[in-house]
Amino acid sequence: MSKLLKKKEVFTVVTPIPSYIPRRLALDILHSHSEVITLNPLVLGHTKISPPDNASPDEMHSTWYAIHERVQVIPGTGKVGAKEITFNGCFHDMPWGLQTHIYAPFGIDMRVRYRIAGNQPGVEPPEHRELGFDSLDIPADGLYLREDIEIRCNISIVSFVKAQAKAASKDMVDRIIRKAELLDSGALKAMMAPDGRLKTLNPNGLSQKNRPVSQSPAQQRMSMIPEPPQYPPDYQPHPMYAQAPVANQQATPRQYPTGPDYYNQFNQQYTALAPGPNEQAQQHRWAPPPMELPGDYYYQHGGAR
């Protein structure tokens, strides 16, 4: 008997999208499932769940949500006559939009195909007109949101569910427009470009992407060390400061002598070369100031350790 009272209703809702809205922004909002779920003002919240056991094979690998909603059981009584219900919904992203299958209460089975169709003015060529476009009031130029809706429910509430679906279509386009207003013109132009790589799932978080990464104290100290001076290719250093070629240096590790004979020989050489008392007195009278060489670009930095 319940099957006899059920009715299937199929209809299409077309809503034009303003020309300054890029296709990628509209698709990103459709792929943000929360935007679609919260179109219904009765929704209290939603949580991501695993596919239920009774899910069809083609919906097993889609994204599922448990949607919490408050419905008014007794009209005119406010929250006292309201009841919270939970039902499941299936969401499947597509390159052109989104497919949803909502298992709503009271035996409502609702399938919606959201498609961002049309062309981006000035970027994409106009799409070919199909038969029946005029009856759907599809615009000849520009983007539009097309919703192919299929409802199976009790015959007594078909008109109510249909009216709610049409109202949600306008709310969806209004949300797309509000999201575009949060973005600056540069972000919108990047999303309109064919090779634009800007991905925007949450326009409010765009400012977080360009925030510089904080450095640790050790990295800050290293960044304070000056870089070596840059010289032109034809620069020739003074012979006094020229270094020996690398090729003339020994590649083998240096051998350090050991043993008492070496140290005795070193002490004898030091004693022979040591100046006498008179020479030491003359040397202490005047000493030239230390000379800073051009290549001394490493300095010590005293900082908190």
Neighbours of 41 (CB within 10 A): 11
Task: Please give the Cα distance from 198 to 195 (Å, whole number).
Answer: 9
The one-letter amino acid code at 26 reads A
pLDDT of res. 244: 54
pLDDT tens-digit profile of 266-278?
566 656 655 666 6
Bridge partner list, 114: 98, 147
Residue 205's pLDDT is 45
| Residue of 127, 108, 125 whose CA lies nearest to 117 | 127
Looking at residue 210, its pLDDT comes to 47
pLDDT value of position 174: 87
| pTM of model > 0.85 | no
For the chain, the C-alpha Rg in angstroms (whole number) is 39
- pLDDT on residue 238: 59
What's the 3-state SS for the chain? CHHHHEEEEEEEEEEECCCCCCHHHHHHHHHCHHHHHCCCCCEEEEEEECCCCCCCHHHCCCEEEEEEEEEECCCCCCCCCEEEEEEEEEEEEECCEEEEEEEECCCEEEEEEEEEEECCCCCCCCCCCCCCCCCCCCCCCCEEEEEEEEEEEECCCHHHHHHHHHHHHHHHHHHHHHHHHHCCHHHHHHHHCCCCCCCCCCHHHHHHCCCCCCCCHHHHHHHCCCCCCCCCCCCCCCCCCCCCCHHHCCCCCCCCCCCHHHHHHHHHHHHHHCCCHHHHHHHHHCCCCCCCCCCCCCCCCCCCC
Domains of the chain, each with CATH number or no CATH: 2-202 (3.30.530.20)
Q: Give the model's pLDDT for residue 121.
A: 83
Q: pLDDT tens track of the chain, all 305 residues? A: 456 678 899 999 898 998 888 888 889 889 989 888 888 878 889 999 999 988 899 999 999 999 998 876 666 666 666 788 899 999 999 999 999 999 988 888 999 999 999 988 888 888 888 888 878 888 888 899 999 999 999 888 888 888 888 888 888 888 888 888 877 666 666 665 555 444 444 444 444 444 445 555 556 656 666 666 666 666 666 555 555 555 555 555 556 565 566 556 656 665 665 566 665 555 555 556 655 555 555 555 554 44
Q: Under 8 Å CB-to-CB from 64, ≥6 apart: which residues?
A: 48, 49, 50, 51, 52, 55, 88, 89, 90, 91
